Amino acid sequence: MKSNEKRCIVLGATGHLGSRLVPALVAQGHQVAVLIRDGAQATRFPTNVMVHVGDVTDARAVREALAGNDVVYFLVHSLDQRGFAGIDREAATTVASAAEEAEVGQIVYVGGPQPKTTLSPHLASRAEVGDALAATGVPTLVLQASMIIGDGSASFELLKSTATLTPWVPVPQWMHNTSRPVAVADVVHFLTAAAETEPLDGVFDVLGPERLSYVELVQRCARVLKLPVRVPLPAPVWSHKLAAQVAGLVTPVSATVAEPLFASLDLDLVPDGPPATDVLPAPPHGLTSIDNAIRAAITNEPEQTGGEMYAEERTVLTDASPEDVWRTVTDLGGDDGWHTLPLVWTVRGAIDHLLGGSGLYRGRAPKIDEGDVVDFWTVVHRDDDAKRLVLKADMKMPGHTVLDMRVDRHDDRTRYRQKVTFAADGLMGQLYWMAQKPLHDIVFAMMARGIVRTACTSR
C-alpha cells in the first residue's frame, strides 16, 4: 500500500454524489469499498471496488463494511421516503458507532447550509445527521453546500424543469431567497481532497462562485438552454405543498422529495462559516461558473437549429428489470405500437400524409439500429450497454423533434427516462409548440407509463 493511499468506503455510493465519488477515488489510487442495499447494482462499480451488501441501519452490516477502512464517506439521504429524518438519524448513529469501534481515521459528510433562524425539516435533519456523526471521537469533516448542480440532483432537476416546461414561472416570495449553488464536479473535488490530507474535524462551507435567487437561477438555466426569458408570474398563494404536487406531476422529482426541498427555500441558504478552502485545496482551475455547471449537467442535448428550443421530460420508476424495460423501448413502433392514447398517432400520421409527409406506418426492421426507420421516426443513436435510444421525427412540422429514451438503475429500482426536445423554426414553430403542447403532454405521459406497464406484464 502506497504511503498516500487510503482505504475509503462510500455509503450512498449509488446516489448523485456517491456515483461520481467512487470512480474519482479509484482514479486517485485509493482502495475503495461501497455498501449498497441491492447486490444487483454491484456491476455499476469497477472490478477493483469492494462491494458490501447491506443497509446503513443494519449495525452488523455496517461494522463489517467499515472494518479496516481509513475514511468513511457518509452520503446517505432518505428524502424520497416518508419519515426520512428518523431513517437518516438511525443511519448516522449506526455508522458513527461502527466508525468509532473500527478506529476509522476520518468521517466525511455533505450536509446543507444552516441558517441561524428556524430550519426547515430537511435542513434540520441534515444538521442532526452531522451532529450524530461528529458525536464520537472520530474526526468528522462536515461540508455544507446549498444546491449542487449536476445531472440527477433532485434540486437541479426541479430547477431545469421549471426553466423548460413553460414560458411562465410562478414566483412566490420564497423564490426570491438566495443561495450559493455549486457544481457537482467541485463538490467531488473537495471530497476526494479530504482523502489526501490528515484527518480533519469541523464544519466548512462549499461555496459556489455566485449568490443567486431561485428566480435568477431559473433565468440562468433558460439562458444556457438558449430559451427566451421566462415570464415571472407573482404567486402569493403558491405554497410549498402546492408547488410540490405540481412538480410531482410534471417533473422527474416526486412530490415527496420536492416538498421538503421547496420548504428549505423559505430562507437564504448562503453559508457564512469558514470556507472549505481553509482546509482543502481549491479546484485546480478555480470554481466552476454557474453557466458551465448547468451546461455540464445538461448532457447530450440536440443541437439548436436557430430557433427556440423546448423540452419536456418524464421519469417513471418500476420494479420491472432494466432488460424488460429496454426490450419494450427497442420494440416500439410497428405492430407493437407506441403504448399511448389510441389512434392519436394514426390521426397525426394521416394529417402528415395529406401534407405530403412520411405519414405513420412505414414499418420497422425486426431489430432497429442507427439509420433505421421506425414508423414516422428515424433512429439516430442506439446504445445497448447504456440502454439509450434516440429517435428523430420525420413528420412535417415547423421545427425538429427528438425523442430520447434511457433505462438505468435508481437505488434498487429501474428508472425509465424520456425526453422530448423540439427546436422551433421561427414564429410558426413556437406557435406550433404552444398549440399542440396540451395534447403532447397527455400523449407522452401515457407513453412513458405505457412502456413501463408493458415491461411489467412481459416479465
Q: For residues 135 and 15, give the distance between their C-alpha atoms in angstroms, rounded to a whole number.
A: 25
- Which CATH number does 309-457 carry? 3.30.530.20
Query: Which of the listed CATH numbers 3.40.47.10, 3.30.950.10, 3.40.50.720, 3.40.640.10 matches domain 7-297?
Result: 3.40.50.720
What are 301's three cell numbers? 442535448
What are 450's three cell numbers? 405505457
The HSE-up count of residue 243 (CA atoms within 13 Å, CB side) is 26
**Is 433 or 21 the better-scoring residue by pLDDT?**
21
Q: Which residues touch 103 (CB under 8 Å, ≥6 apart)?
A: none
**What was the pLDDT predicted at 301?**
46
The pLDDT tens digits for 230-282 are: 888 888 878 878 888 888 887 778 888 888 788 888 778 887 789 999 999 99
Q: Are 138 and 96 in contact (CB under 8 A)?
A: yes
Q: How far is CA 224 from CA 162, 220, 419, in A?
A: 14, 6, 18
The stretch 45-70 carries a mean pLDDT of 93
Helices (H), 195-321: 214-224, 240-250, 255-263, 290-297
- Nearest of 412, 407, 406, 408 to residue 391 by alpha carbon: 406
Helices (H), 36-83: 59-66
How many other C-beta atoms lie within 10 A of the C-beta of residue 335?
A: 8
Domain layout of the chain by residue ranges = 7-297, 309-457
What pTM does this model have?
A: 0.69
Q: Are 71 and 105 in contact (CB under 8 A)?
A: yes
Helix (H, G, I), strand (E, B) or coil at 403: strand
Helix (H, G, I), strand (E, B) or coil at 60: helix
Q: Which residues touch 250 (CB under 8 Å, ≥6 apart)?
A: 161, 165, 441
**What was the pLDDT predicted at 362?**
62
Single-letter amino acid code for the residue at 162: T
Range with the lowest mean pLDDT among 6-10, 200-204, 288-292, 425-429? 425-429
**Is 145 or 358 the better-scoring residue by pLDDT?**
145
Confidence grade of residue 63 (pLDDT, cut at 50, 70, 90) = very high
Q: For residues 240 and 261, give the distance between their C-alpha atoms in angstroms, rounded to a whole number.
A: 9
Residue 191, pLDDT above cutoff 90? yes
- Nearest of 155, 168, 312 to residue 244 by alpha carbon: 155
The pLDDT tens digits for 360-411 are: 666 677 888 888 888 888 888 999 998 999 999 888 888 889 999 999 988 7
pLDDT above 90 covers a percentage of the chain that reads 42
The pLDDT tens digits for 117-126 are: 777 888 888 8
Average pLDDT value over all residues in the chain: 86
Single-letter amino acid code for the residue at 453: R
Residue 300, pLDDT above cutoff 50? no
